[in-house]
Amino acid sequence: MTWTHDDGMSYEIFATRLAALRASLAAQGLAGFIQPRADEHLSEYVPPAAERLAWLSGFTGSAGIAAVLADRAALFTDGRYTLQAAAETAPTLWERHHITETPPPAWLAAHASAGARIGYDPWLISEEQRERFRAAGLTLIAIANPIDALWLDRPAPPSAPAVPHDLAFAGRSSAEKRAEIAAILREAGEDAAVLSDPASINWLFNLRGEDVPFTPFALGFALQHADGRSELFMAAEKLPAATRAVLGPTVVIAEPAALAAALAALAGRRVRVDPTASPVWFAERLREAGASVSFAADPCLLPKACKNETEQAGARAAHHRDGLALCRFLHHMSVAGAAESEISAATRLLALRAEGAHFRGESFPAISAAGPDGAIIHYRVSPATDRLIGTDSVYLIDSGAQYLDGTTDVTRTLWVGPGAPPETLRARFTGVLEGHIALATALFPQGVAGPHLDAFARRALWAMGLDYDHGTGHGVGSYLSVHEGPAAISRAARPIALAPGMILSNEPGFYEAGAYGIRLENLLLVRKIPELSHQRPFLGFETLTLAPFDRALIAPDLLSPAARAWLDRYHARVLAELGPDLPPASAAWLAQACAPLMPAGRENDRSF
C-alpha cells in the first residue's frame, strides 16, 4: 500500500496501530470499541495527550468518532470534515461515513454480530451518547481505554498554571457567579451540580490557563453546591499561591483523584449532571453512591453565554484591534497575495494580530486555503500540503484570535487577480453574501432559537439550487472557546432561545469540490430592539467584526436593494472606525474597498 498521511506517516504505522487495538480487544473478549474524538471533559479542543483518534486513524479534525470491529473499521465525521477524513485516513483501513447519513450506532448494529460486546471509555462518552448506542441494541462494556497502553510515546497531561482572569475583563466576580449558580440549583430543587466543561469552570472561577492549544483553559472539574460551597478538583501544581489567594477560602481545592470520594459523599442528594456534555462516568459513580441523578443542562451555560456589559465592551474593543490587523493583511493581499503561500499568508496575519494589545494567540488553527483547498471546510495546511496562492485564484482565510478582552473569528474569501473572476463565481459569492446580510439584519421576537433563523442565510443559495453542509453559526466565548454553547444557528442545533448578550457567528458558504470554497463570517452580538418591542420583546444583531468584503467578487445587480444598502452602511462603518487608526497606505486602500455600491444620491431611498 503506497498511501501516506499528510504528516509523512506511512500506511504501515496506522495498520500496525489498528491491529494492536484489535488484539487488545480480543484479549478482553470484546468484539469492538468506540473511540470518539474527545477528552475527559468532552471538549472540542483537547490537549495532545487526548488525541487518541488522531493517533489511531490519522484524522486530525475536531469532531469525529471511530468504531472498530475485528474485520472492519469506520470513521464518522460531519460535513465539515468529509474531504479531510478522506485525505487523512487510509481507504483500505477505514470506511468513511457522514455521521448524519450513517450514524455510528446504526453502523455497529448492522455489522457487529448479535450479542457482541462493544467496549467504550466512560470518560469519553456522555450519557446521551451511550443511550443512543444502547437504543440500537448494542451491548456496551465500560473499560479503561486500550489505546493508552498502546500509545507508547503519548504526551504527558498538561500542567500549565491556572491564572486569575482579571475583573476588568470578566466584569463579574467569581463569588457573584457562584452565588447565581447556587440559586439556580436551589430553584431546581437540586443539591449540587457536576461541572466538567472547562469553559464553565474557567468562567465560574474567573480562571484561565494554557492546557489546551488555542483555547485558554485550565483543566479541572468542579462541584457547585446549592448552599454556596464550591469544590475545585485541579492538580496542586496548577494552582500557584497567587491563584489560591484569589479563589479565597470559600473554594475547597482538591486533587482530581479525590473526585470519586466527593461524589460518594453526595449519597442521598439530588445532583445535576449534563447528559450531553459530561462523561457518563459521573452519573455512574453517583448512582453507585446512592445519589439521585438529575439530568439537566450545565447551569453555567446560559449565564456564561449572555455576556455582561464589560464583556460586550471588551468584545467590541477586541474586534476593533482585530479589524485593524485584518485590514492591513487584506491590503497586503490585494498587492502581493499571489506570491504568498497558504502558510506564509497565515503567518503574516498572525504577526499582524500579535502587535495588538491583549493578544494571547490564535483562537483556532487558521484555515488558510487556496483554490481547491478552500472546498475542504476545515482545511488545515501543513508543509506537505502548502500551496502557492498564485494569480487568478480564490483564497479563503478563516481565522481568529484570543485577546484578554474577547475572542474573534472571521472569514473572508478573496479573488487574487489580476484577471477578472468568472461570473459564476461572482454569482455564488453574491448569493452567500446575500444570505449573510439576511441573517445580520434579522429581527425576531424573544424566544426564537438558532434553528429558526438558519434558513435566512440559505434562502438566496437555495434559490440558485445550492447549499452548504455545515451550520450557519456557533456561539463564541469571552476569552474562552471560539465554539461555545448552548445556542447555535443550525438546522441540527438544539432549539435554545437566543438572548441578549450572546455572541454568535454568521458564516454561510458554498463549496465546489476540487475548485474553491466561499465562506463569509462575521460575529454577531444579540441585542434588544426597544423600538419594536411594543407587544413583546424583539431582538436583533449588532455586527462586531470589522473588515470589508471583497468587492471584486460582488455582483451588485444580484444583491437585493436592501442588501446593497446594508453593505454600504457596513462598509462606511468599517472605514469610519478603522480608517483613522490604520497606516496611510492601508487607510487609502480601505477607502477604496469600502466605497459605496449604491448609486450616489439614493442613500435615503426607503426602497433600499
Domain encompassing residue 283: 163-304
**Residues 244 and 359 reside in one and the same domain:** no
CATH number at residue 122: 3.40.350.10
Upper half-sphere CA count for residue 107 (Cβ side, 13 Å): 23
**Residues 145 and 261 reside in one and the same domain:** no
**Residues 331 and 257 reside in one and the same domain:** no
Residue 31 has pLDDT above 80, yes or no: yes
Specify the pTM: 0.93
**Residues 524 and 401 reside in one and the same domain:** yes
Residue 48 has pLDDT above 90, yes or no: yes
Domain membership flag for residue 603: no
The pLDDT value recorded for residue 447 is: 97
Question: What CA–CA distance (Å, rounded) separates 571 from 593?
Answer: 8
E strand or H helix at 488: strand 484-489
- Structural domain total, the chain: 3
The pLDDT value recorded for residue 51 is: 97
Percent of the chain surpassing pLDDT 90: 94
Question: What CA–CA distance (Å, rounded) separates 157 from 432?
Answer: 42
Last residue of a domain, one of 304, 321, 345: 304
Q: Mapping DSSP to helix (H, G, I), strand (E, B) and coil, where does residue 124 land?
A: coil
**Residues 30 and 72 reside in one and the same domain:** yes
Domain membership flag for residue 462: yes
Domain membership flag for residue 608: no
**Residues 172 and 319 reside in one and the same domain:** no
The pLDDT of 141-159, averaged and rounded, is: 97
**Residues 291 and 310 reside in one and the same domain:** no
**Residues 470 and 518 reside in one and the same domain:** yes
Q: Which residues on neighbouring strands pair with residue 33, listed in sequence order?
A: 68, 119
Going by pLDDT thresholds of 50, 70 and 90, the confidence category of residue 6 is: low
Last residue of a domain, one of 127, 150, 173: 150
DSSP codes, 437-451: HHHHT--EETT-BHH
pLDDT tens profile 61-101: 999 999 999 999 999 999 888 989 999 999 999 999 999 99
**Residues 127 and 62 reside in one and the same domain:** yes
pLDDT tens profile 235-270: 999 999 999 999 999 999 999 999 999 999 999 999
pLDDT tens profile 389-426: 999 999 999 999 999 999 999 999 999 999 999 999 99
Domain membership flag for residue 112: yes
**Residues 322 and 199 reside in one and the same domain:** no
Q: Do 278 and 369 touch, CB atoms closer than 8 A?
A: no
Domain membership flag for residue 2: no
Q: Do 375 and 517 touch, CB atoms closer than 8 A?
A: yes
The pLDDT value recorded for residue 599 is: 62
Which of the residue ranges 85-99, 320-334, 419-433, 594-608 would you say has the lowest mean pLDDT? 594-608
**Residues 70 and 89 reside in one and the same domain:** yes
Q: Do 36 and 119 touch, CB atoms closer than 8 A?
A: no
CATH number at residue 336: 3.90.230.10
Domain membership flag for residue 157: no
**Residues 289 and 335 reside in one and the same domain:** no
